[in-house]
Amino acid sequence: MKVLVTGGAGFIGSHLAGRLAEEGHQLVVLDDLSSGKRDQVPGAASFYQMDVASRWTERVVAREKPEAVCHLAAQISVSRSMQDPLFDAHVNILGSLGLLEACRRHGVRRFVFVSTGGAMYGDAETIPTPESYPAAPVSAYGASKLGFEHYLHVFHSVDGLSYAAMRLANVYGPRQDPRGEAGVVAIFSQALLEGRTPVINGDGLQTRDYVYVGDVVNALVAALTSDAVGAFNVGTGLETDVNTLYARLREAAGSEVEATHGAPRPGEQRRSCLDATRARETFGWQPRFILEEGLRETVEYFRGQVALGGAAAS
């Protein structure tokens, strides 16, 4: 199968691109390299350095004629989405919609969209939270992801486009950017290995559902090869508070450094955890990595990056 992966030089996208290449799929990668790295793209892939919101995106789809698209390219900063919601919408809604329209025009069979689970449901009363829970994002980022999911439903209803919106929990693992705001595992790992003191926002009792990038790739591959339509949570169903996460990372890093606590982040969700029953029943997917195992893998990756004196890949 010929697959176009947008954002395929970034954290999750490069892992997905590598898996697809290993499995023998024809691979096309589109990435503007604003955060991704060219050397993370498999050598056999056709590569286009391009913003997904570019007017040239349709030409790529027309030229390459992929059978399936996995759309990861996005504006991913929650704080930036609040500071500049117009830019967030330009990329996450208009850019995505332009790609979707190109797929409709040029016969793409399957469209897999990497959406958000963590920012989709707000402060949900039901934990773990299923897809049936009312979507109530409290950030422009979450709103743009939800908005594009509605467009996917429209294109499916009107034109029959097959799609899956994969609502990811808090993804972590090798290649995550320690300079971002969302990659707390990467941020803590690099700080500990460099002997710096990490800062925990607030009291550290806020919880998240941490899912390893390898498990996420398994879910995306399963969705690409399925005909199931709709939204699907991708998470572990387990809550871990930030204090506990830090303690486990410190143990994996062999560090004695105590974290400090800073001011809480305004508007931050207190609890977030996803019920992935639908993905299990539909795709036969379930997470394989327990948290401690995934954290060890991640710390060892960053240990290598620190030893090389280079910044971690995003």
Delimit the domains of the chain by residue range: 2-171+210-234, 174-208+238-308
Residue 310 has a pLDDT of 53
- Predicted confidence at residue 292, as pLDDT, reads 97
B/e letters for 171-204, b = 16+ CB within 10 Å, e = fewer, are bbbbbbbbeeebbbbbbbbbbbbeeeebebeeeb
Q: What is the pLDDT of residues 135-166, one digit of tens each?
A: 999 899 999 999 999 999 999 999 999 999 99
Output the pLDDT for position 108.
98
Task: Give the separation between CA 261 and CA 293, rounded to whole angstroms.
Answer: 26
Lowest pLDDT segment from 3-12, 47-56, 179-188, 283-292: 179-188
- What CATH code is assigned to 174-208+238-308? 3.90.25.10
User: Quick one: 264 exposed, middle or buried, by C-beta within 10 A (0-12, 13-18, 19+)?
Assistant: middle
pLDDT computed for residue 181 by the predictor: 63
Distance CA 118, CA 129 (A): 10
Helix (H) or strand (E) holding 216: helix 213-224
Q: Which of 48, 133, 141, 301 is catalytic?
A: 141
The answer to whether 141 is a known catalytic residue is: yes
pLDDT reading at 10 higher than 90: yes
Each residue's pLDDT tens digit, 85-130? 999 999 999 999 999 999 999 999 999 999 999 899 988 999 999 9
Q: Which residue has the higher pLDDT, 230 or 180?
A: 230
Averaged pLDDT score across all residues of the chain:
95
Q: Is the pLDDT of residue 62 over 80?
A: yes
Residue 266 confidence (pLDDT)? 73
pLDDT at 79: 85
Instruction: Return the DSSP state at 230.
Output: E
In the predicted model, is pLDDT for residue 311 greater than 60? no
pLDDT for res 269: 85
61: pLDDT strictly greater than 80 = yes
Fold category of 2-171+210-234 in CATH: Rossmann fold (3.40.50)
Task: Give how far Cα 293 sits from Cα of 119, 185, 310, Å.
Answer: 25, 13, 24
| pLDDT confidence band for 314 (50 / 70 / 90) | very low
**21-30, 102-111, 182-191: lowest mean pLDDT where?**
182-191
pLDDT at 241 over 70: yes
Predicted confidence at residue 213, as pLDDT, reads 98
Q: What is the pLDDT of residues 245-277, one digit of tens each?
A: 999 999 999 999 999 999 987 767 899 999 999
Asked whether 288 and 151 are in contact (CB, 8 A), the reply is no
Per-residue model confidence (pLDDT) at position 156: 98
